[in-house]
């Protein structure tokens, strides 16, 4: 069994904040993969479902960001799970908007929700960091994360949430590198192939038609 936690602050006032992108991602996962309706448990909103054949409890702490670990810790102890069975999705100001990184363990990066989780369940949980960008001045960080996404952000935000929800079964199956690469492909698709010099039409001389490349034989 896995716990899939999306961090944020409860209530409509905070619903569209950058700080709540983890909750937004879990909402989209629950919707796409037809989890059960949300209900209150463990000081959180919880929904049950499965990903890649694995039973999953999706969880949105209702304790405010700074106390996120209380809800996750309570659920973890109830199901007798280990920290490595927990996947946490949250905002990351040190990643450009739309970027994503996944790792197990690590530091808090100054994130109060992650600091609370480490205090309650240790450091060995999986972290899905969702980039929301940095305001450029550390004194502006608090206002930045507690502000709503701008209308211009909706293009990349919807794309990211859709990609994360579509590819999350890979992460549930233990394929973190493949999950990251698939999401990255959606967010930054490869550039179109440029033709090689030998494939390009040769410039025509005066009075001649342009020479097209000879068809390649299958032999």
Phi, psi (deg, nearest 5) at residue 100: -140, 140
Q: For residue 4, how many other CB atoms are within 10 A of its CB?
A: 27
CATH architecture classification, 2-187: 3-Layer(aba) Sandwich (3.40)
* CB contact at 8 A, 145 and 132: yes
Residue among 19, 33, 111, 144 flagged as catalytic: 19
* Arithmetic mean of pLDDT, 42-57: 96
Q: What is the pLDDT confidence band of residue 195, given thresholds at 50, 70 and 90?
A: low
Laid out side by side, the sheet with 126-131 consists of: 39-41, 44-51, 54-61, 2-6, 86-92, 126-131, 100-104
Enter the pTM of the model: 0.84
In percent, the amount of the chain with pLDDT more than 90 equals: 80
Q: What is the pLDDT confidence band of residue 110, given thresholds at 50, 70 and 90?
A: confident
* CB contact at 8 A, 2 and 56: yes
- What does the domain layout of the chain look like in residue ranges? 2-187
- pLDDT of 144 > 70? The answer is yes
Which one, of 110, 104, 113, lies nearest residue 179 by Cα? 104
43 Rama class: left (phi>0) / alpha (psi -120 to 50) / beta: left
Is 144 part of the annotated catalytic residue set?
no
- pLDDT of 83 > 90? The answer is yes
Q: What is the pLDDT confidence band of residue 208, given thresholds at 50, 70 and 90?
A: low
Q: What is the pLDDT confidence band of residue 123, given thresholds at 50, 70 and 90?
A: very high
As a whole number of angstroms, the distance between CA 143 and CA 138 comes to: 10
């Amino acid at each position: 069994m896995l716990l899939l936690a999306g961090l944020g602050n409860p209530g409509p006032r905070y619903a569209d904040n950058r700080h709540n992108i983890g909750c937004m991602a879990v909402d989209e996962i629950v919707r796409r993969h037809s989890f059960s309706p949300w209900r209150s448990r463990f000081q959180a909103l919880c929904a049950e479902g499965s990903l890649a054949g694995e039973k999953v409890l999706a969880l949105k702490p209702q304790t405010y960001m700074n106390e996120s670990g209380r809800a996750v810790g309570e659920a973890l102890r109830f199901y007798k799970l280990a920290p490595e069975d927990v996947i946490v999705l949250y905002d990351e100001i040190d990643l450009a908007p739309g970027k994503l990184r996944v790792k197990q363990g690590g530091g808090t990066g100054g994130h109060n929700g992650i600091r609370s989780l480490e205090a309650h369940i240790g450091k060995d949980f999986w972290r899905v960091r969702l980039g929301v960008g940095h305001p450029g001045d550390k004194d502006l960080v608090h206002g930045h994360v507690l502000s709503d996404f701008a209308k211009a952000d909706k293009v990349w935000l919807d794309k990211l949430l859709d990609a994360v929800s579509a590819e999350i079964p890979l992460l549930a199956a233990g394929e973190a590198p493949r999950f990251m690469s698939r999401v990255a492909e959606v967010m930054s698709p490869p550039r179109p192939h440029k033709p090689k010099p030998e494939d390009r039409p040769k410039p025509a001389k005066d009075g001649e038609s342009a020479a097209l490349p000879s068809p390649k034989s299958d032999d």
